[in-house]
Amino acid sequence: MIIGLDVGGTHTDVVLLDQENLVNQIKVRTDESDLFQSVLEGLSRITEGVDPKRIERVVLSTTLTTNAIVQGAMPNVGMIVSSGPGIDPKFFRTNEHYYPVAGSIDHRGRRIEPLDPDEIKAVGKNLAGAGVRYVGVVGKFSSRNPSHELEIRKLLRDQFEHIFLGHRISGNLNFPRRIATTFLNAAVYPVHKEFFTAVKRSLDRHGMKVPIHILKADGGTMSLDYSIDFPGQTILSGPAASVMGACAFAPEDRDVIVLDIGGTTTDMAVLMGGVPLIDPFGIELSGYKTLIRSLNTRSIGLGGDSVVRVIQGQLTIGPDRLGPAMGYGGSAPTPTDALIALDIVTDAEKARSVAGLEPLALTLGISIAETAERIFNLACDRILSESAKMVAQINAKPVYTIHELHEGYQVDPKTIMVLGGPAPYFAKRLAQNSSYEVRTVPRWKVANAIGAALARATCEVTLFADTERGILTAPEEKFKKNVGRDFSRDEAVEKAFELLKEKALVKGEANAQDLEMELLEDLQFNMVRGFDTTGKNIRIKAQVKPGLIHGYGAVAKKLSEEAER
């Protein structure tokens, strides 16, 4: 049995699956002041009466790291950056405690300028004096030779709680993005560590000694233990859960827009033949351009609980949320109150919703019913408009799915799949207001948690060979080996897949049957001195494809058949 848990801005959704059925599903109100308690309550309720020995796997999706970045709720972090000749690293400043230092390694991994240990110690003293506990260290070509980053950590390791090294965070060569990625990993570490500790403690109390996974931005999972050193990978795991939840039920013969309409936001994505699109270059969040691979998603501040106002005679919705709809005890009118006033939603206090809409109606000079209709139509029209913008942005660049590049392909979705609490209500109105065929995802209220539960473990490996220098290295994996001049591209690919399999099975706790591996990069250049070839420069990047785990296809099929009846 598998538990899938997704923490949203309004609800925490939890499901329990076996290989044949969705055994149980629950929703817990998310307490924004204590998200950890929401997670613990969800785990406790879903496991009531269940033998802990039957639980094989727990998969979590969380908004904690994303919220910390968006809200600016991050601790003081130190950044130590070494680049040598070239663009001044000051141009890539991430925060207040940012220190460029001496030391340089070239593009082939050769030391050009040594570090200054006294300078590093002085920086460490300044950071410690400022109360900094978490530090990121990045060298320009550390993915080719991590020695400078390792030396800096050795000099400072006793002064700080955790030091993140750029070569371990990403094997890609983009220096500015590696700086930002390392910074965000250090910045979200404390909130992720607290979440990590709370989940571990809860499962221990329930007697569940099972693999715990957390959903990543690329729609795959990694082990919770492994995530403590790579917390930035959990950024945007919430939207990824929505996409994977739709994937389980998506048609394979067309392009589809996925809409997860929650209480706080609407998350959007596009599936191409049932396969998610991906941003291969990395997330950009709150102005930070990173190397964190992510599903191609878009979030807007419009959900069922977004605040509705009249500003200069015009209705506006969101982007803020001040709690639940007034019909459920909230303090401000929302789109959900419009649905309640129109008798579309019937399990709330209609009188409270009507009272909340009345000042808006008076300002607009129309009836409460007309006001409710305008709010509902405005919400749907804005979602459709933002969906069209997303499709246009996708078509302005090469289209990448999680499996391959589709050069020149133009996505042309005619179908929308909707999930989230208000999915059936919005689906009907979206169909009326557009030319799309609109469907609700089976078990739309908890489809994101189902998506998290069924996502397979993913990871990637970057391998670099310089046969002139006789070096084969994968710094992210702490791997280095001497090779001869005759070392070949085929041998490099074989070693990359070997390292990838080990990483997936040991660090990702993946199942062997889910190891669909592929090459992301396969580059080879000859190095020439005078008129002679003196060696080869080989770069290989391999990944385990994101997707759904094997053995649980019957669940998706059964739920789809159930929805059609």
> What confidence score (pLDDT) does residue 205 get?
77
> What confidence score (pLDDT) does residue 341 get?
95
> What confidence score (pLDDT) does residue 508 get?
63
> What confidence score (pLDDT) does residue 356 get?
95
Collapsing DSSP to helix, strand or coil, 108 comes out as: coil
Collapsing DSSP to helix, strand or coil, 544 comes out as: strand
Give the gyration radius of the chain's Cα atoms. Answer: 25
- Boundaries of every domain in the chain: 2-70+191-240, 77-187, 251-440, 460-544
Please give the helix or strand (H or E) that residue 481 lies within, else none: strand 479-482
> What confidence score (pLDDT) does residue 563 get?
60
From the list 171, 160, 103, the residue with the least C-alpha distance to 136 is: 160
Q: What is the DSSP string of 33-54?
A: T-HHHHHHHHHHHHTTT--GGG
> What confidence score (pLDDT) does residue 124 get?
93
> What confidence score (pLDDT) does residue 528 get?
66
Cα separation, 494 vs 505, whole angstroms: 17
Spatial neighbors of 451 by CB under 8 A, at least 6 apart, are 4, 6, 240, 241, 242, 243, 244, 245, 246, 247, 248
Alpha-helical regions (H) of 291-367: 335-341, 350-364
Render each residue's pLDDT in the chain as its tens digit; 565 residues: 899 998 876 778 899 998 888 889 998 888 867 777 887 888 889 988 888 788 888 998 887 777 777 667 788 899 999 987 777 888 899 989 999 999 988 887 888 899 999 999 999 999 999 999 999 999 998 887 888 989 999 999 889 999 999 888 887 778 999 999 999 999 989 888 888 887 888 777 777 788 888 998 888 888 888 888 888 888 888 888 888 888 878 888 889 999 999 888 888 999 988 888 888 778 887 788 888 888 888 888 888 989 999 999 999 998 888 888 999 999 999 999 999 999 999 999 999 999 999 999 999 999 999 999 999 999 999 999 999 999 998 888 877 776 666 777 888 999 999 998 889 999 999 999 999 999 999 888 888 899 889 888 888 888 988 888 888 988 888 888 999 988 998 999 999 999 999 888 876 667 777 778 888 778 888 776 666 667 888 888 888 877 778 767 677 777 776 666 5
Please give the helix or strand (H or E) that residue 316 lies within, else none: strand 314-321
Cα separation, 62 vs 237, whole angstroms: 6
Cα separation, 449 vs 422, whole angstroms: 16
Tokens (6 digits) for 217: 């931005």
User: Running DSSP on this structure, what letter comes out for residue 310?
Assistant: E
Could you tell me which CATH number the domain at 251-440 has? 3.30.420
Burial class (CB in 10 A: 0-12, 13-18, 19+), 495: buried
User: How many beta carbons lie within 10 A of that of residue 476, not counting itself?
Assistant: 23
> What confidence score (pLDDT) does residue 80 get?
95
What is the CATH topology of the domain spanning 77-187?
A: Rossmann fold (3.40.50)
Spatial neighbors of 241 by CB under 8 A, at least 6 apart, are 6, 61, 215, 448, 449, 451, 452, 455
**CATH architecture of the domain with range 2-70+191-240:** 2-Layer Sandwich (3.30)
> What confidence score (pLDDT) does residue 72 get?
73
Q: CA torsion 447→326→387→271, rounded to 10°?
A: 0
**Model pTM score:** 0.80
Cα separation, 561 vs 555, whole angstroms: 10
- Identical fold for domains 77-187 and 251-440, yes or no, is no
Rounded alpha-carbon distances, angstroms, from residue 262 to 26, 242, 336, 402, 440? 16, 10, 11, 25, 14
DSSP collapsed to 3 states, 127-142: HHHCCCCEEEEEECCC
> What confidence score (pLDDT) does residue 388 get?
94
Cα separation, 125 vs 466, whole angstroms: 38
